Every structure is written in structure tokens, then in C-alpha cells.
Amino acid sequence: MPPMEQQKLSGRPLVGQAISRLEGYEKVTGAARYSGEFNVKDLLYGYVINSTITKGKIISIDTSKAEAIPGVITVFHHGNRPSLAWFSMQYADMDAPPGTPFRPLQNGEVKYNGQPIALLVADSFETARYAATLVKVVYTTEEFQTDLIGNMAKARAPKGGLATFLKPPPPKPFGDFEKAFEAAPFKATGKFIHGTEHHNPMELFTTTTVYNGKGKLTIYDKTQGTVNCQLYVANVFGLHFKDVRVISPYVGGAFGSGLRPQHQLFFSVMAALELKRNVRVTLDRHQMFTFGHRPPTVQFTRFGATVDGKVTALNHEAIAETSRFEDYTEVVVNWAHMLYPAQNTLFKYNLVPLDVFSPLDMRAPGGSTGLHAIESTMDELAYQLKIDPLELRLINYAERDESTDRPYSSKELRKCYLQGAEQFGWNKRSPEPRSMRNGHKLVGYGMATGIWEAMQLPARAAASITTEGKLKVNSAVTDIGTGTLTVMSQIAADEMGLPLEDVSFTYGDSKMAFAPIQGGSFTISSVGSAVKAACNALKKKILKKAKTMDNSPFKSHKIDEVVFADRKMISIANPSVFISYSDIIAANDHKVIKSVNFAMPKALKLKKYSRAAHSASFVEVEVDEELGTINVTRAVTAVAAGKIINPKTAKSQILGGMVWSISKALREETISDHRFGKYMNMNIAEYHIPVHADIHDLDVIFVEEQDDIVNELGTKGVGEIGLAAMPSAIANAIYHATGKRINQFPIHFDQLL
């Protein structure tokens, strides 16, 4: 266990303190085991075989050569697979978009390039990988389309469905956009092109399925939702919900890729059930490009403003890729009117179904896409108007959310602008493009605004006082590296008045209290609120128990007349009257006291408000004048995200978002060859993400923001907001440095030559 005493904690409350990750010891010593690291006995290894065509049918699969290899157990494919759930909706997980979920091995139909079409199972990984190359597949091919740009004319409105409740459609138009835009003395327009991106967490997607006999499974899976995967497996394979246990103790990054059950889960479970053996299936790095991705998206903006910089007309339209079988959507065009109170607006969002796998939420989905277009158009408008870009944001500062005609539950964006600008030294910027230099390098300053909705989903938590008088809390939630274990422990410790070492928070197991998928920056607000609710209920049980004791001094006490501190319940009126948790447990016949509670968003109260985290990013770039090479030399992101439970782990979330911003603006892109309908750089040597040498001076500010409405904790989440503003700020800085407005990501040196 980690030596807790090494952390210097300064009293109460623990919430708000920069506490080091409680799982740090396990992670730096290699003791932390991820889903592919449970080396159970008699393990078989599955290797997925992928289609090499983009669309068509499988005519035949010849497995004879593969099966002749010693150690090969079998090859599963559509022709010999076991019977599976018939209704496609049984494959729908909690994050399934409207449509028909992909069903592996359903039939011989190939819907996209790299589709998993067979699983080879062998007694070693090496044998499985090798023998898989000996499986011969014959196809007939059909015509396909994978190119968004070439198929824009086919764009249509997305279908509605259950999973779209977190993803509202574009806001209704206000006023008369065309007329207002026509009349506006200052205008800025843009066309923004984003390519495909893949999440590429460092850990490969792996499932180790332990066959416990009689249809009972213990599944170690890489996922962002243990209960989501439990539901999926039970539904698809017709198992009892309780016989399926999904465990994800450590998750080696996910960024959205684990929001839906991935292929390796299906294959590992299918093989384990059929062979009645323990089976591990790992998708290799190449195969990590064969499921969800951030969809390529093309956006158009037209903003109009008065001579004094008031934005009067906002138009933002997006056309995005989806698959043929599901209508995956993002919130791309809803942000502009939340940020800028124009009287005339027009927003559109449409999809083009193509022969690709369904896109999937990837860190700041939609937000990082849309805000690039919005904030770079605002930047362009600032140059047209000859107004400082920061000043233009302040002139158009939205005191309320005009898009829904509601006040914000809290909004300290102005502080983000001012504190961020101060820290960065924005006042040293000279307004003209190409006016700042460092030797042979052009220097540019750019800024942009970020926004991300503060959401809360229903979640449960279980809390109990153990026989030793300590606190145990559990939730099925995962910790994908965000610091969930640490922040939940802080919340629980404060609620019960316990030191951190008396609290154990366990998680990542579908057997535990229900938690939704971990994403959208809503985990702290959803599960954190549940932890608080469970602790509050536990306090009431403790008081109730205390009242039943002989000569109890608490008989007349109400719950608001006691406090829970120093491992005891204490009377507020008379602090010499108290009872320790261990004495309470003794009085309870040495039995634990437990409470399991739900926390729900307070819908009636919340619907009167818009709830969002905000940010402002300031970026300095240096561009080599002759070579066009771009370097982000320093950046500041100031964030208003309500209460920050742990400034250390929260800062890391924002830093991560800032590195992702550099990656999005300058590095990462999955490149397709549309002649083959195939991704061409399916590895992390050719799929570029920043390395240490690319990352320089990054600074994070959390501005004070109190929010008594958003949820019990006053938190808004910090997973996405770090990636909201900065990509655009980088593009804007490049414009300031070079005078070239590049609206296509990633921006490469050749575009600047």
C-alpha cells in the first residue's frame, strides 16, 4: 500500500487540497494490473482477423492451414459462430447512437475496412498471431464511399434516439440571420476541415475472460463502463445479468474509446463460453484503428458585427461523417450562441453516412471541433475590426445563455480572460500579424474561449462503517486516469470526518453500486454526488443507532444538531457529548452499518439554468520563417469549472487537454486512402502525437467559481474543458505570427510555405 503519511495534508477540508494520487505507488512500481494482466490458469489467446476489403461479402473462409498448426484450438467466424442474440437492440449499449449497432460475425457481410471477421484461438499469443495469417478469406467486393469531402451533397439530418438526450440538436434560429449578416458592416467567414482521429490510449484494448462454469463469467475488460459491458454481455450472450461480472481495476487511458463495448470483449466472451476456457483477446495497435474514431467534419461559419464590435449575426453549420448503420452525432454548432449574444442566428448540423465504422466520442467531442471554427472566426472578426481579440470577447460577453434564454448557474469566464491574459502577458502582443520576432522565427500570440456543458447522470454509491470504525465506499465507476479514486476518497473522508487513511474507495467492478459510463466530464458530479448522498444517509443511520443505545445522550438530537468529525459523531450544542464510530459499531453488535444511495440530477431546478464550465487559452507560437515549422513555446489555460476537488489531479486533466490541443492543431490525423476505403497510418509511428520534445511551457489557472445550483458538490468536471479553447488559440497564434489563416487541422509546415 502507498505510504499515506508521505503526504502533508493541511487539516480540513480535504476537498480542495492537492493530494497525490492514492494509486500512485501501484502505478510507479508496476503493481497495478490492467485488464490484460490477469494471468489466470490455462489461458487461451484469441487473435482477431480483420477484413481486407471495405464493402462486400465473404465467399469463403479457409481455416485448414491455420488449424493444422500445433496449438491452434479453433477459428470462429460467421459460418460457425454460436447462436447469438437475434434482435439488434440487444447489442445496444448505454452509449449506442440511434441506428442498428454493429454485430460482430452476424453474417458474411463486410461493412467497413478492418471489420473483425474471425477469431483464431490458440494456446499461445505467438501461435494465434501467426496462424491468423494463414486463414484465407475470399470476398466479393462492392462499391463503397468513405470520403466525406466528396459526398457532402448527401448530407442529411441525423435521426433522433435515446442516446441523444445528452446531445441536443442545433438551437432554433433567432431573428433573420441572412438579413442581419448582409447588413453587418464587418464580416468574417470560414470553412474548417477536420480529419479523422483515433483515441489511441497507450494500453491496448484487452479482455481476459475467466470461465467460471455454468454460464458464469468474470471478465477483466478495458472499458469506461463496467455495468455497460455487463449489460452488453448478458444481452448478447443470453446470460443472467448476475452471472456476468466485469472488472476494470486500472484502465490505461481511454479518452472515449471505452465508452462502448469493443470487439475484443465480444470475441473473448464468445470464445470462453464456447470453449469453456479462459480466453484473452487483445487488439493490437493496428486493430485499435478498427473501431470508433472522432469523425471528420467540415464546418462553415459566417459572423457579422457592428462597427463597435457587437456580434449581430451568427451562422455555424457542420457536416460530419457517420457509419451506414448508426447516426453518431456531436454537439458542434450549439456553442456560439451560448458564448455570444447575437440577435440573429442560424445553426445546422448534418450527417453523411459512409462505409466506415461508427464514430465514437473522443475527448471533448464536438466541442473541440466546433469551438475551433467559432473562435477562429471571432479572431478573424477581431482583425477585421482592428479590435484586440480579447477585447472583442469582452464586448460580446454573454451574461446569460441567449440560445436557451436561461441564466448560467455560474459563469466566471471573465476571470479566465483577465487572469489568463495577465499570467500570459497578453498586453505585450503587438496587434499586426508578422510584427513579432525572435531571430529568424516569427512569433505569434493567439487566444480563444472554451466551453463545455456541466452534466450529471444518475449514479449510486455504497458506504459502510466497518467493524474497525473505518469507512468503505464503493462504486462500479472506473478510473481511467482522471483521479477518480483520489477525489472520491477526499469527498467521502470530508463527509464522515475521517482522515484519508481511514477511507477505502473501491471501484471498477460491475458488482459494486451502479455507475454510468465514465465520460463527458460528468463523473465527479455524478458519482461524487452519489458518494455524498451515501455518506449522508450513513450519518442518519449512525444517529438512529446512537439513539437506540441505553441512556443515549443523542435521543433528542436531529441530524443537523450533530457533526461528524475526528472519527466520531459529536453534539453541536455540547461537544463533550460524542460517540466514536467504533463504539457505534460495538453497539450495533459489531456489525457494519451500510447505506446504498442514488444521486439524481435535480431536473426541475436545473432546467431553469444553463450549466457549463468555461475556459480561456493564450498561446505563443514560433514559426520558422523559412521552414514553416511550428512550435508552441508556451501556453496558459484559465479554467472556471466550479469547485475543484483536487487541484493536483485537476491540473493534470487540463495539462492533458492542452497537450491534446497541440496534438489536434498540429499533429494527429488518421489518413485515409479513399480509393481503398482504408486508413493508411494505423500505428503510432505514423499517427503522430506530441512527444516530450514537442511540449514546452504549459500553465493552468483555476479561477474561483462558486456554483450552488449545478449539483451538491458545485463541480463541473475538467476532463474536456482543457481541449476546448486551445486548438483554436494555436491556429490564431499561427495567424498572428504568419498572417496566414489555416482552417484545416492539423496545420503542417507546408501550409505555411
Partner 1 sequence: MHTYESGLKEEMQHQSELSMTINGVPKSRTVKPWVSLLDYLREYLDLTGTKKGCDHGQCGACTVICDGKRILSCLTLAVMKEGSEITTIEGIAKDGELHPLQQAFIDHDAFQCGYCTPGQICSAIGMIAEGKAKTRSEVKELMSGNLCRCGANTNIIDAIMDVQKGAGNE
CA 706 vs. chain centroid, Å, equals 24
Q: Is 293 in the site for partner 1 (CB under 8 A)?
A: no
Vertex 289 angle, CA 51 and 662, to 5°? 160
Length of the chain as a residue count = 753
Instruction: List Cβ neighbours of 746 (8 Å cut-off, separation of 6 or more).
Output: 195, 663, 664, 665, 666, 667, 668, 669
Q: Is 9 in the site for partner 1 (CB under 8 A)?
A: no
Per CB under 8 A, the list member of 684, 709, 748, 751 interacting with partner 1 is: 684
Q: Is 300 in the site for partner 1 (CB under 8 A)?
A: no
What is d(CA 554, CA 356) in angstroms, rounded to the nearest whole number?
65
Per CB under 8 A, the list member of 202, 307, 603, 604 interacting with partner 1 is: 202
Q: Is 27 in the site for partner 1 (CB under 8 A)?
A: yes
Q: Is 32 in the site for partner 1 (CB under 8 A)?
A: yes
How does DSSP assign 560-622, residue by residue?
GGEEEETTEEEESS-TT-EEEHHHHHHHTTT--EEEEEEE---HHHHTTSB-EEEEEEEEEEE
The stretch near partner 1 (CB under 8 A) out of 143-151, 197-205, 457-465, 515-523 is 197-205
Taking the least distance from each CB to partner 1, the nearer of 355 and 361 is 361
Q: Is 16 in the site for partner 1 (CB under 8 A)?
A: no
What is d(CA 218, CA 230) in angstroms, rounded to the nearest whole number?
10
Per CB under 8 A, the list member of 285, 544, 591, 605 interacting with partner 1 is: 285
Output the smallest distance, CB 648 to partner 1, in A. Answer: 5
Per CB under 8 A, the list member of 201, 295, 420, 528 interacting with partner 1 is: 201
Q: Is 40 in the site for partner 1 (CB under 8 A)?
A: no
Output the smallest distance, CB 693 to partner 1, in A. Answer: 5
The stretch near partner 1 (CB under 8 A) out of 29-37, 411-419, 468-476, 535-543 is 29-37
3-state secondary structure 665-679: HHCCCECEECCCCEE
For the segment 481-520, give every residue that binds partner 1 (CB under 8 A).
481-483
Output the smallest distance, CB 118 to partner 1, in A. Answer: 20
Output the smallest distance, CB 259 to partner 1, in A. Answer: 15
Output the smallest distance, CB 201 to partner 1, in A. Answer: 6
What is d(CA 135, CA 683) in angstroms, rounded to the nearest whole number?
23
Taking the least distance from each CB to partner 1, the nearer of 68 and 572 is 68
Vertex 401 angle, CA 651 and 369, to 5°? 55
**In 3D, which of 19, 42, 11, 330 has the Cα closest to residue 167?**
330
The stretch near partner 1 (CB under 8 A) out of 227-235, 246-254, 296-304, 397-405 is 246-254
3-state secondary structure 218-266: EEEECCCCHHHHHHHHHHHHCCCHHHEEEECCCCCCCCCCCCCCCHHHH
Taking the least distance from each CB to partner 1, the nearer of 474 and 661 is 661
Taking the least distance from each CB to partner 1, the nearer of 360 and 570 is 360
Q: Is 397 in the site for partner 1 (CB under 8 A)?
A: no
The H or E element spanning position 649 is helix 647-666
Per CB under 8 A, the list member of 660, 679, 735, 745 interacting with partner 1 is: 660
Taking the least distance from each CB to partner 1, the nearer of 3 and 213 is 3
Per CB under 8 A, the list member of 418, 563, 689, 709 interacting with partner 1 is: 689
Q: Is 33 in the site for partner 1 (CB under 8 A)?
A: yes
What is d(CA 312, CA 150) in angstroms, rounded to the nearest whole number?
33
Q: Is 408 in the site for partner 1 (CB under 8 A)?
A: no
Q: Is 603 in the site for partner 1 (CB under 8 A)?
A: no
Q: What value does the CA radius of gyration of the chain take, rounded to a whole number of Å?
A: 27
The stretch near partner 1 (CB under 8 A) out of 126-134, 184-192, 265-273, 708-716 is 126-134
Strand pairing category for 568-571 and 562-565: antiparallel
Backbone angles phi, psi at 390, to 5 degrees: -70, -45
Output the smallest distance, CB 120 to partner 1, in A. Answer: 15
| Maximal C-alpha separation, the chain | 86
Which residue bears the cell 469582452?
A: 394
Q: Is 69 in the site for partner 1 (CB under 8 A)?
A: yes
Taking the least distance from each CB to partner 1, the nearer of 2 and 469 is 2
Q: Is 20 in the site for partner 1 (CB under 8 A)?
A: yes
For the segment 255-274, give every residue that binds partner 1 (CB under 8 A).
255
Per CB under 8 A, the list member of 5, 10, 41, 70 interacting with partner 1 is: 70
- Burial level of 566, CB count in 10 A (0-12/13-18/19+)? middle
Per CB under 8 A, the list member of 366, 444, 519, 656 interacting with partner 1 is: 656
**In 3D, which of 44, 190, 38 has the Cα closest to residue 124?**
44
Give me 275's grid cell.
Answer: 470453449
Per CB under 8 A, the list member of 690, 709, 748, 751 interacting with partner 1 is: 690
Q: Is 335 in the site for partner 1 (CB under 8 A)?
A: no
If one counts every other C-beta atom within 10 angstroms of the C-beta of residue 685, the result is: 7
Backbone angles phi, psi at 471, to 5 degrees: -110, 130
Output the smallest distance, CB 720 to partner 1, in A. Answer: 13
Taking the least distance from each CB to partner 1, the nearer of 24 and 79 is 24
How does DSSP assign 99-139, residue by residue?
B----TTSSSEE-STT-EEEEEEESSHHHHHHHHTT-EEEE
Q: Is 624 in the site for partner 1 (CB under 8 A)?
A: no
What is d(CA 742, CA 753) in angstroms, rounded to the nearest whole number?
12
What is d(CA 601, CA 616) in angstroms, rounded to the nearest whole number?
28
DSSP state for residue 286 in the 8-state scheme: G
Taking the least distance from each CB to partner 1, the nearer of 603 and 691 is 691
Paired with 673 in beta bridges are: 678
Which residue bears the cell 492451414?
A: 65
Taking the least distance from each CB to partner 1, the nearer of 176 and 694 is 694
Per CB under 8 A, the list member of 175, 253, 499, 739 interacting with partner 1 is: 253
The stretch near partner 1 (CB under 8 A) out of 69-77, 158-166, 428-436, 487-495 is 69-77
Output the smallest distance, CB 70 to partner 1, in A. Answer: 6
The CA–CA distances, whole Å, from 148 to 196, 241, 597, 656 equal 10, 40, 46, 29
Q: Is 141 in the site for partner 1 (CB under 8 A)?
A: no
Q: Is 627 in the site for partner 1 (CB under 8 A)?
A: no
Q: Is 692 in the site for partner 1 (CB under 8 A)?
A: yes
Output the smallest distance, CB 163 to partner 1, in A. Answer: 25
Per CB under 8 A, the list member of 5, 10, 11, 30 interacting with partner 1 is: 30
What is d(CA 348, CA 332) in angstroms, rounded to the nearest whole number?
9
Taking the least distance from each CB to partner 1, the nearer of 26 and 243 is 26
Q: Which residues bind partner 1 (CB under 8 A)?
A: 2, 6, 20-21, 23-34, 36-37, 39, 65, 68-71, 124-127, 130, 200-204, 250-255, 282, 284-285, 480-483, 648-649, 651-653, 655-660, 683-685, 689-693, 695, 697-698
